[in-house]
């Protein structure tokens, strides 16, 4: 889904941007891990004056990536067990 498609049809039901403290709460992580994710490019953010804003969409994409990675790892482990 492209960024344009994500806004077609209906307006978003929640906020588009959150401050780091809120993002860390959404991700159940602390400051150190949250800023590591930003530095690694895992989350999209920008400065708005003195305030940093993180896109909620990038938080959702990060969670989806992690779920996909975990599912693919679990699938490989299952295949190895059944091959034995």
* pLDDT tens track for 27-53: 999 999 999 999 999 999 999 999 999
Is the predicted pLDDT of residue 82 greater than 70, yes or no? no
Structural domain spans, the chain? 13-79
Q: Which two tokens stand for residue 55?
A: 């896109």
* The pLDDT value given to residue 73: 85
Place of tokens 């679990």: 74
**pTM (two decimals):** 0.74
- What is the CATH architecture of 13-79? Orthogonal Bundle (1.10)
Average pLDDT score over residue span 19-24:
97
How far apart CA 33 and CA 7 sit, in angstroms, is 30
> What distance in Å separates the CA atoms of residue 31 and residue 74, rounded to the nearest whole number?
29
């Amino acid at each position: 889904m492209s960024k344009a498609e994500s806004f077609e049809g209906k307006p978003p039901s929640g906020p588009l941007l959150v401050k780091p403290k809120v993002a860390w709460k959404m991700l159940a992580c602390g400051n150190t891990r949250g800023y590591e994710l930003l530095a690694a490019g895992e989350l999209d953010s920008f400065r708005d004056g003195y305030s940093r804003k993180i896109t909620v969409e990038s938080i959702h994409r990060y969670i989806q990536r992690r779920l996909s990675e975990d599912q693919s790892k679990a699938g490989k482990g299952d295949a190895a067990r059944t091959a034995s």
